[in-house]
């Protein structure tokens, strides 16, 4: 099972950034945890929610609405592999709160700092993460990345899971970022994340006109569909095409045949399989699950089967990891990996 749940908005980060006296660019940290623990954790994961999601006085909270935490929500989802965007991990505090979340869920993790200091993409897995790499998108000035993790699934083999978060305003920039992802892909993979792009086939002409008008009213750029057209043209398989019954997490407007994943009611978060891959979505398993106030986006989940299954020693899941830092003068300088 794969799920994705962004945890902080860029607008909120801008608010936080303006209140600090020092700023720095993201260092591009890539890091994995030192140990794996199945112990229960009561730690609350600190996340940020946009003002209108909670109250005008709140930009940072440690407990979700009605006492729900990110850990509790994700435990209920029950995914085996999780992709997170805009998640916080402080290097000077043992990668908390992300490390606390992973420990509470009994999962391994790898993290790559992205568009803001201490915030980025993360992949969590119940099974060993064998390899991982972070690729900066578009050009050196673009701090967004795609985090690629190879996960060893018992009795099934390796799963290549790519987690990313594209620009939230400019479709042409999103196209550059997606081009970079596809150019760098070296094999079959699952692509998951906040693509911040719309799929025109999700909406009727009337609904699309309403979306364009609404975006104009709130000051957002005119919505476009080039990114999703591009991916579909490359024969990427959309997990949404394998939908079952989704809970009503947002009101589905007339002329829209898909559950929205963000507060605007549109679908901007995706799970996709690369063309001709061994990863097959299970019919009826795709669903959108409420994030219950822990995020301004909702959770997307789907079940996956792997063709050409091969035996994997289940005992390998119990291997422990230690974190080391690579200081060699290479493209991986300053990256943190687990061995």
**All domains in the chain, ordered by first residue:** 2-338 (3.60.10.10)
Cβ–Cβ under 8 Å, residues 224 and 171 = yes
Residue 3 has pLDDT above 60, yes or no: no
Name the band, by pLDDT with cuts 50, 70 and 90, for residue 6.
Answer: very low
Measured CA to CA, the distance from residue 216 to residue 238 in angstroms comes to 28
Hey, how many other C-beta atoms are within 10 angstroms of the C-beta on 192? 28
Measured CA to CA, the distance from residue 162 to residue 294 in angstroms comes to 23
Beta bridge partners of 6: none
pLDDT value, residue 30 = 62
pLDDT value, residue 108 = 95
Q: What is the pTM of this model?
A: 0.76
Which pLDDT tens digit goes with each residue over 229-243? 999 999 999 999 998
Determine which helix (DSSP H) or strand (DSSP E) holds 17, and give its type and residue range: helix 10-17
- Widest pairwise Cα distance in the chain: 56
Residue 110 has pLDDT above 90, yes or no: yes
Phi, psi angle pair for 65, to nearest 5°? -50, 140
* Residue corresponding to tokens 């900066």: 136
Cβ–Cβ under 8 Å, residues 292 and 322 = no
Which pLDDT tens digit goes with each residue over 119-162? 999 999 999 999 999 998 877 778 899 999 999 999 889 999 99
How far lies 195's CA from each of 12, 18, 137, 177, in Å? Answer: 19, 26, 13, 10
Residue 13 has pLDDT above 80, yes or no: no
pLDDT value, residue 31 = 64
Name the band, by pLDDT with cuts 50, 70 and 90, for residue 18.
Answer: very low
pLDDT value, residue 42 = 36
User: What's the distance, Cα to Cα, between the start and end of the chain in Å?
Assistant: 25
pLDDT value, residue 246 = 59
Cβ–Cβ under 8 Å, residues 46 and 97 = yes
Least confident window among 42-46, 88-92, 128-132, 291-295 = 42-46
Measured CA to CA, the distance from residue 46 to residue 107 in angstroms comes to 18
Least confident window among 28-37, 117-126, 255-264, 295-304 = 28-37
Residue 201 has pLDDT above 90, yes or no: yes
Work out the average pLDDT over 6-28.
39
Cβ–Cβ under 8 Å, residues 82 and 2 = yes
Residue 213 has pLDDT above 90, yes or no: yes
Beta bridge partners of 152: 158
Q: Which two tokens stand for residue 313?
A: 């020693």
Hey, how many other C-beta atoms are within 10 angstroms of the C-beta on 184? 14
Residue 7 has pLDDT above 60, yes or no: no
Instruction: Compute the chain's Rg from CA coordinates.
Output: 19
pLDDT value, residue 29 = 57
Cβ–Cβ under 8 Å, residues 166 and 196 = yes
Residue 113 sits at the vertex; the CA angle it makes with 153 and 268, to the nearest 5 degrees, is: 75
CA dihedral 188, 194, 195, 198 (to 10 degrees): 120
Measured CA to CA, the distance from residue 146 to residue 83 in angstroms comes to 11
Average pLDDT in the chain: 76
Phi, psi angle pair for 159, to nearest 5°? -120, 125
Name the band, by pLDDT with cuts 50, 70 and 90, for residue 64.
Answer: very low
Phi, psi angle pair for 188, to nearest 5°? -60, 145
Alpha-helix runs per DSSP H in 148-219: 171-184, 205-218
Measured CA to CA, the distance from residue 280 to residue 16 in angstroms comes to 41
Residue 147 sits at the vertex; the CA angle it makes with 108 and 278, to the nearest 5 degrees, is: 85
């Amino acid at each position: 099972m794969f799920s994705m749940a962004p945890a902080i908005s860029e607008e909120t980060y801008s608010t936080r950034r303006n209140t600090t006296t020092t700023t720095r660019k993201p260092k591009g940290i890539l890091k994995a945890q030192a140990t794996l623990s199945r112990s229960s954790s009561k730690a609350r994961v600190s996340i940020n929610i946009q003002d209108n999601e909670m109250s005008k006085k709140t930009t940072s909270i440690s407990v979700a609405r009605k006492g729900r935490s990110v850990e509790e929500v994700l435990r209920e989802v029950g995914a085996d592999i999780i992709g997170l965007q805009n998640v916080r991990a402080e290097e000077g505090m043992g990668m908390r709160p992300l490390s606390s979340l992973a420990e509470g869920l009994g999962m391994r993790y790898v993290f790559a700092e992205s568009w803001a200091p201490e915030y980025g993409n993360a992949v969590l897995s119940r099974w060993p993460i064998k390899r991982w790499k972070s690729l900066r998108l578009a050009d050196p000035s673009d701090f967004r990345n795609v985090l690629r993790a190879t996960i060893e699934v018992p009795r099934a083999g390796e799963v290549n899971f790519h987690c990313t978060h594209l620009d939230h305003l400019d479709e042409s920039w999103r196209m550059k970022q997606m081009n970079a992802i596809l150019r760098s892909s070296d094999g079959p993979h699952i692509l998951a994340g906040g693509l911040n792009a719309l799929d025109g086939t999700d909406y009727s002409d009337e609904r699309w006109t309403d979306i364009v008008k609404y975006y104009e009213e709130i000051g957002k750029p005119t919505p476009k569909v080039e990114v999703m057209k591009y991916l579909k043209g490359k024969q990427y398989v959309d997990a949404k095409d394998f939908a079952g019954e989704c809970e009503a997490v947002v009101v589905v407007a007339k002329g829209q045949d898909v559950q929205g994943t963000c507060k605007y009611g549109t679908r901007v978060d995706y799970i996709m399989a690369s063309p001709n891959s061994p990863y097959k979505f299970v019919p009826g398993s795709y669903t959108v699950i409420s994030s219950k106030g822990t995020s301004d986006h909702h959770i997307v989940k789907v079940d996956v089967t792997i063709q050409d299954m091969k035996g994997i020693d289940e005992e390998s899941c119990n291997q422990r990891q230690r974190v080391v830092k690579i200081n060699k003068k290479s493209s991986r300088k300053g990256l943190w990996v687990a061995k």
